Structure 1
Amino acid sequence: MDHISALRNVEEALRAFEHGEADLTTTQRRVQSVLQSYATEFEADERRPYRAHGEEPADGVVVVAADAETAKERVREHADAETATFDVVAL
């Protein structure tokens, strides 16, 4: 899924929510599904999504990076997890 397609799908989900055609939970699932699909496309340009597993607040954080070490750095930055112990796994 390319960037434009992802944006269109998110817009459609938001439009359905605004018009009362979908509830918040359904909208959240649709948007999350779009994001997950979009994230899996990064492998084509040598980046991929990584999920952190370990201590809070890093546990469960997903970032896109070229390698595991860069992914760990991004998780630390985004999750404010400088002291957390965690590993990252490519999705």
Structure 2
Amino acid sequence: MDRISALRNVEDALADFEAGDASLGDVEDRVLGVLRTYATEFEDGDLSAYRAIGDPRVEGIVVVADTEAAARERVAARVDASPEFRVEPAD
């Protein structure tokens, strides 16, 4: 999913909420789904999405980086710690 498609899907979810056709919970689920799809399909030249696995503090965090090592650094910086974890491509 490209950025424009993601934004359109979020806009559609918000429009449904404003029209009363969707509850807040429905919109949250739709937007979360859009973000997860966008993140896991992200490919921009040398950048790829990586998902953290292992320590509960980082489990499921998805970051975009050019290397696995850079992805580990970004995840560790998000939790301001050095937990034991690994990253793998988020596809």
In the superposition, the TM-score normalised over structure 2's length comes to 0.81
Aligned amino acid, residue 23 of structure 2: D
Aligned-residue offset at 1:34? 1.5
CA-atom RMSD, angstroms?
1.8
Deviation at 1:70, TM superposition (A): 0.8
Counterpart residue number, 2:71: 71
Quote how far apart the aligned CAs of 1:55 are. Answer: 1.3
Relative to structure 1, the CA distance from residue 81 to residue 60 in structure 2 (aligned partners, 3 Å threshold; closer, same or farther) is farther
CA shift for structure 1 position 53:
0.9
Post-superposition Cα deviations, 1:11-55, rounded to whole Å, max 9, x if no partner, equal 111121222211223212211221223224433523221111111
Q: For the structure 1 residues 48 and 60, does the alpha-carbon distance in structure 2 shift closer, same or farther, using more than 3 Å as the test?
A: same
Once residues 90 and 39 of structure 1 are traced to their aligned partners in structure 2, the CA distance between those partners, rounded to angstroms, is: 11
Runs of 4+ in 1 over 3 A off after TM superposition: none
Are the aligned partners of 1:48 and 1:64 in contact in 2 as well (CA < 8 Å)? yes
CA distance in 2, matches of 1:39, 1:32: 10
Cα distance change of structure 1 residues 51 and 41 upon mapping to structure 2, 3 Å threshold:
closer
Query: Which runs of 5 or more structure 1 residues have no equivalent in the other structure?
Result: none
Structure 2 stretches lacking a partner, 5+ long:
none
Higher helix share: 1
Alignment size in residue pairs: 90
Residue in 1 that maps onto 2:6: 6
